[in-house]
Structure 1
Amino acid sequence: MSRLYAISALALIAALIGGIGAYILWGNLNGRDDPFAQCRATRVAGGAGDIGGPFELVSETGETVTEAEVITEPVLIYFGYTFCPDICPLDVSRNAIATEILEERGQMITPVFITVDPARDDVARVAEFTDNMHPRMIGLTGSEDQVAAASRAYRTYYNRHDAEGDEFYLVDHSTSSYLVLPEHGFVEFFRRDTSPEEMADRIACFIDAAS
């Protein structure tokens, strides 16, 4: 009986070793299939392919545009609103600084701002906001449905406080910035605590890996 237990134990150990080996091999192969594996600092439930996709919005020049017309080079997308008293200006300014750092290194990206408050953020308001942040920043607004569809595509969250009779209402919203490459789609997101320098370094890694 003890011999039978020993044989069973050996078989179990062999199976575990084999399973671990297969898991490691699968992980290595999976990493090789991902050209950006060495650049990623975040993970997305369901994979990067679950974020991003088609959208149709109105640019700061008043033209209706799609994602194909906006994402012609690496873009850094942020969802916010121009009446935001503190968070949005800091985040968007950080993105603009990272854009400048990359430009000084010879790598170009386009910062993009998508409002989650189209009721107040019309074309003129968005244009004024983005022009103050960065000369190449693209500002996007649209109808309530258009903005909601873009937000769903990037899995962002926003919720307006009761706006009735209050022109200074606030909007709760997610605060990540999204790096999207023309040929690859969404590849990475950046949290609020990421510095401009760190953001620029990580974006540069993705740009280099894509070239």
Structure 2
Amino acid sequence: RLALVAALGGAVTSGWLYLRHQRERQRQSRRLRQLRALRLSQADFELRDTAGRTRRKEDFLGSWVLLYFGFTHCPDVCPEELHKLSRALSLLEKEPTLPPLQPLFVTVDPQRDDAAALARYLRDFHPRLLGLTGTAEQVSEAAAAFGVYVSAGPPDADGDYVVDHSVLTFLLDPEGIFRDCYGRSRTAEEMARSVREHMEGY
């Protein structure tokens, strides 16, 4: 009798876990359909990397992408976020079974951030971090496509200025679809864990 009760209990538990798994898969499927319909999922760009090559979002299809908008003259926030991004990448690289992940840094200050400036700046961060710049119009279009706010402040007596911008790191899947974004409150460990979960559920 006890064996029968135990068997029934096990069957109920297994059934509940199966239903829970199915509901989660359905939820993820609905979310993916919603993301496909979002304008952000269609966000594109045409910029130049530090070697002068033209780069578009389609060039990175097939790889996961972490994309951050910032600028090299940023006094504190951008370096902090790029160090966090670099730390998350290092954590993920410890798991060789995970799929490819390409980190991108898009400047919001093309007037000062040419290819050479980006190359020098990014030496302090993860070696695979790829810098992208372009004309003022190209950068503005890329930022707008991802819903990133950008506003350059007035120059000081030395001609220096700060660029106010959204502080978000975007995660795109191998189809170029927006999957998640990470703000300042997320740690490198949390970012890495979230990226891993998205990869495993893809």
> After TM superposition, is the score higher than 0.5?
yes
Sort the Cα spacing of 1:184 and 1:161 in 2 relative to 1 into closer, same or farther, 3 A.
Answer: closer
Does residue 67 in structure 1 map to residue 57 in structure 2? yes
- Return the offset for 1:28: 7.7
Does residue 104 in structure 1 map to residue 66 in structure 2? no
Normalising by the residue count of structure 1, what TM-score does the alignment of the two structures yield? 0.76
- Return the offset for 1:183: 1.5
Q: Give the Cα–Cα distance (whole angstroms) in 2 for the partners of residues 200 and 29 of structure 1.
A: 22
- Return the offset for 1:50: 2.4
Whether the 8 Å CA contact 2:102–2:128 is kept in 1: the answer is: yes
Does residue 114 in structure 1 map to residue 114 in structure 2? no
What are the ranges of 5 or more consecutive residues in structure 1 without an aligned counterpart? 1-26, 38-45
Bigger CA drift: 93-102 or 155-164? 155-164
Whether the 8 Å CA contact 1:156–1:173 is kept in 2: the answer is: yes
- Return the offset for 1:165: 5.6
- The AA in structure 2 aligned to 1:54 is D
Say which one has the larger Rg. 1
Q: Give the Cα–Cα distance (whole angstroms) in 1 for the partners of residues 111 and 74 of structure 2.
A: 14
Normalising by the residue count of structure 2, what TM-score does the alignment of the two structures yield? 0.79
- Return the offset for 1:175: 0.3
Give the aligned CA root-mean-square deviation in angstroms: 2.3
Q: How many residues align structurally? A: 176
- Return the offset for 1:122: 0.5
Whether the 8 Å CA contact 1:59–1:138 is kept in 2: the answer is: yes
- The AA in structure 1 aligned to 2:78 is C
What are the ranges of 5 or more consecutive residues in structure 2 without an aligned counterpart? 1-22
- The AA in structure 1 aligned to 2:68 is Y
- The AA in structure 2 aligned to 1:97 is R
Whether the 8 Å CA contact 2:60–2:174 is kept in 1: the answer is: no
Q: Give the Cα–Cα distance (whole angstroms) in 2 for the partners of residues 77 and 105 of structure 1.
A: 21
The 5 Å alignment of 1:1-211 reads 31=27, 33-34=29-30, 47=35, 49-52=38-41, 53-106=43-96, 107=98, 108-163=100-155, 166-210=158-202
Sort the Cα spacing of 1:47 and 1:71 in 2 relative to 1 into closer, same or farther, 3 A.
Answer: closer
Sort the Cα spacing of 1:208 and 1:29 in 2 relative to 1 into closer, same or farther, 3 A.
Answer: closer
Sort the Cα spacing of 1:170 and 1:83 in 2 relative to 1 into closer, same or farther, 3 A.
Answer: same
Runs of 4+ off more than 6 Å: none
Whether the 8 Å CA contact 1:99–1:110 is kept in 2: the answer is: no
Give the share of equivalent positions with the same residue, in percent.
32
- The AA in structure 1 aligned to 2:84 is R
